């Protein structure tokens, strides 16, 4: 539904999706630019979204037996060099500290791009027996990756995330942990962020540096591009061997443990924006919105309006709703447009006539539907409306993904579909790196994942025509 804009206009996403995104993150007051290129200030409203996501995940991690720890932010170069594949994967993005005060350091220190090496070094000191396992750790921190091209939330030089690291006695336990934590991310995306996902495994080319297997959840944005929204990695025993981690089993024999790592970052906020936002600004799923309901008095100067608005505010607050009363002196049009820009799921309008009739008008942010609601039923009606908005956002995003996922039998067909329509493209694949690279070079798409839900589309690889091993989903990604 088209809607007149009352605040400073943002670029329509159909005109310039990148500029639309930048307009939304700044005008919805999520970020500000800092004095360092590629490093952003997460403003209170943006940080509050992250806090709500953090609360959901932290609770789930602890339910599954994980404990929070804190590791140093600096890694000695010699420590980083112990796992060759890992350091090679991160070397181009590493930022280095070479001076301490006015003195040159005898060894360079890397500002952590991730913390596998720190956890492994720690475990080499504290793990001795099978009784010490499993080690199930998580840390909430920032990391630094010296990206050349940056964009708020999606690719910054510093970003917030959580990184889980676990150590297990057997490969079976570690693989089960890897898959379990991917499902935690999938549930967070679908149930809390209203973002449908495709679960799958990365190809050898796209997996995490140093991992034996990387599992991923992939989401589709409004512009039909893919966003890798959470990953979980099985490391096998490679890191443990490189860092000298060993334990005595129940027969008192020395064994090497198996490791996992998994993470989700503030990049997911960029995913929320690009999945649900519209040309009026941000649209937030109610379950993670900092403000779920904004109460907007109409004709606030008239007798009894502010008193009743305050009464409604206190009622909803007591009912456990994250609610705000807009008692500012801005015009009604400005207020409505401002809260739409900030993506508040439900706007509750209350004026003299409404009060007289014992009702208010609730306006849904997802579709602008106006729902007359009895004041005496607010405690039950508002949570039900928030659930409806949550489900509406998921259904809309799922429809976008389903309608823009296509099947191709050949490389030429995949390229033509991508150029004309975009979206996810499913093909059969022989498993070779050469064919994967050809798809990237000729059709501009990377492999997003080898989905858990496999389909038999044909017997032949879409690229080379050879015998196919599995189905792959391809796409242009952020």
Residues 334, 193 share a domain: no
| Contact indicator for 48, 324 with CB cutoff of 8 Å | no
Q: What is the predicted pLDDT for the residue at 1?
A: 43
Q: Would you state the structure tokens that stand for residue 475, as one six-digit string?
A: 């796409």
Other beta carbons within 10 angstroms of residue 7's beta carbon come to: 16
Distance CA 152, CA 398 (A): 25
Residues 225, 133 share a domain: yes
Please list, in sequence order, all residues whose beta carbon lies within 8 angstroms of the beta carbon of residue 419, skipping any fewer than 6 positions away.
none
Q: Would you state the structure tokens that stand for residue 368, as one six-digit string?
A: 């602008």
Residues 419, 349 share a domain: no
Distance CA 25, CA 271 (A): 12
Count of structural domains, the chain = 3
HSE at residue 224, side-chain half, CA atoms within 13 A, is 19
Largest CA distance in the chain: 82
Q: Which residue has the tokens 């779920």?
A: 292
Distance CA 163, CA 106 (A): 29
Residues 183, 40 share a domain: yes
Residues 174, 57 share a domain: yes
| Contact indicator for 233, 264 with CB cutoff of 8 Å | no
Residues 183, 322 share a domain: no
CATH number at residue 365: 3.40.50.800
Q: Would you state the structure tokens that stand for residue 320, as one six-digit string?
A: 């456990």
Structural domain boundaries, residue 303? 293-387
Domain boundary among 241, 276, 311: 276
Q: Would you state the structure tokens that stand for residue 477, as one six-digit string?
A: 């990604």
In a domain, 106, yes or no: no
CATH number at residue 180: 3.30.930.10
184 by DSSP, 3-state: which? Answer: helix
Contacts 24+ apart (CB under 8 A), 301-305: 302/351, 302/352, 304/352, 304/355, 305/350, 305/351, 305/352, 305/355
Handedness of CA 446, 450, 453, 457 (dihedral sign): positive
Distance CA 347, CA 353 (A): 17
In a domain, 100, yes or no: no
Residues 239, 159 share a domain: yes
Domain boundary among 358, 387, 416: 387
pLDDT digits over 207-231, tens only? 998 899 999 999 999 999 999 999 9
Distance CA 415, CA 425 (A): 9
In a domain, 83, yes or no: no
In a domain, 179, yes or no: yes
Following DSSP, what letter does each residue of 435-455 receive, concatenated?
HHHHHHHHH--EEEEEESS--
pLDDT digits over 239-262, tens only? 999 999 999 999 999 999 999 999
Residues 51, 133 share a domain: yes
In a domain, 304, yes or no: yes
Q: Would you state the structure tokens that stand for residue 120, as one six-digit string?
A: 């492994």
Residues 184, 309 share a domain: no
- What distance, in Å, lies between the first and last C-alpha atoms of the chain? 28
Instruction: List the chain residues with pLDDT less than 50.
Output: 1-5
CATH number at residue 467: 3.30.110.30
In a domain, 314, yes or no: yes
What per-residue string of b and e applies to 16-54 under the rule 16 or more CB within 10 Å gives b? Answer: ebeebbbbbbebbebbeeeeeebebebeebbbbbbebbb
In a domain, 81, yes or no: no
Residues 435, 299 share a domain: no
Q: Which residue has the tokens 């207020």?
A: 335
pTM, two decimal places: 0.94
Distance CA 170, CA 66 (A): 18
Residues 348, 417 share a domain: no
Q: Would you state the structure tokens that stand for residue 333, as one six-digit string?
A: 């049009």
94 by DSSP, 3-state: which? Answer: coil
| Contact indicator for 13, 20 with CB cutoff of 8 Å | yes
Residues 180, 125 share a domain: yes
In a domain, 211, yes or no: yes
Distance CA 357, CA 409 (A): 62
Domain boundary among 242, 276, 310: 276
Q: Which of 400, 366, 276 is nearest to 13 (CA)?
A: 276
């Amino acid at each position: 539904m088209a809607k007149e804009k009352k605040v400073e206009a943002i670029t329509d996403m159909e005109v310039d999706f990148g500029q639309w995104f930048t307009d939304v993150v700044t005008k919805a007051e999520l970020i500000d630019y800092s004095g360092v290129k590629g490093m952003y200030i997460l403003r209170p409203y943006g940080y509050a979204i992250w806090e709500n996501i953090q609360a959901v995940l932290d609770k789930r991690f602890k339910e599954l037996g994980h404990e929070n720890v804190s590791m140093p932010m600096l890694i000695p170069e010699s420590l980083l060099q112990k796992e060759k594949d890992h350091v090679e994967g991160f070397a181009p993005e590493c930022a280095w500290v070479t001076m301490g005060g006015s003195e040159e350091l005898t060894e360079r220190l890397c500002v952590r791009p991730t913390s596998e090496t720190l956890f492994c070094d720690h475990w080499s000191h504290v793990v001795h027996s099978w009784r010490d396992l499993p080690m199930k750790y998580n840390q909430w921190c920032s990391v630094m990756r010296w990206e050349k091209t940056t964009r708020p939330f999606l690719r910054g030089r510093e970003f917030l995330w959580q990184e889980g690291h676990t150590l297990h006695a057997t490969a079976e336990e570690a693989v089960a942990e890897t898959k379990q934590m991917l499902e935690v991310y999938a549930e967070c995306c679908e149930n809390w962020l209203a973002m449908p996902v495709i679960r799958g495994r990365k190809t050898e080319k796209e997996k995490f540096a140093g991992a034996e297997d990387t599992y991923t959840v992939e989401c589709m944005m409004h512009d039909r591009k893919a966003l890798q929204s959470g990953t979980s990695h099985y490391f096998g025993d490679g890191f443990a061997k490189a860092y000298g981690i060993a334990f005595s089993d129940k027969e008192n024999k020395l064994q090497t443990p198996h490791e996992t790592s998994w993470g989700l970052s503030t990049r997911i906020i960029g995913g929320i924006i690009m999945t649900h936002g519209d040309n009026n600004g941000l649209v937030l799923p109610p379950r993670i919105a900092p403000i779920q309901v904004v109460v907007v008095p109409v004709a606030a100067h008239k007798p009894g309006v502010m008193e009743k608005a305050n009464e409604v505010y206190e009622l909803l607050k007591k009912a456990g709703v994250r609610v705000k009363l807009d008692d500012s002196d801005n015009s009604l049009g400005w207020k409505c447009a401002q809260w739409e820009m900030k993506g508040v799921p439900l706007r509750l309008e209350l004026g003299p006539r409404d009060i007289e009739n014992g009702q208010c008008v609730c306006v849904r942010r997802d579709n602008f539907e106006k729902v007359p609601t009895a004041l005496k039923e607010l405690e039950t009606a508002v949570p039900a409306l928030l659930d409806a908005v949550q489900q509406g956002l998921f259904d809309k995003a799922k429809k976008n993904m389903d309608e823009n996922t296509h099947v191709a039998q050949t490389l030429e067909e995949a390229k033509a579909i991508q150029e004309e329509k975009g979206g996810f493209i499913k093909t059969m694949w022989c498993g070779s790196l050469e064919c994967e690279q050809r798809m990237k070079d000729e059709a501009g798409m990377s492999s997003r994942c080898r989905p858990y839900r496999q389909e038999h589309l044909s017997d032949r690889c879409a690229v080379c025509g050879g015998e196919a091993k599995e189905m792959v989903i391809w796409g242009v990604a952020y």
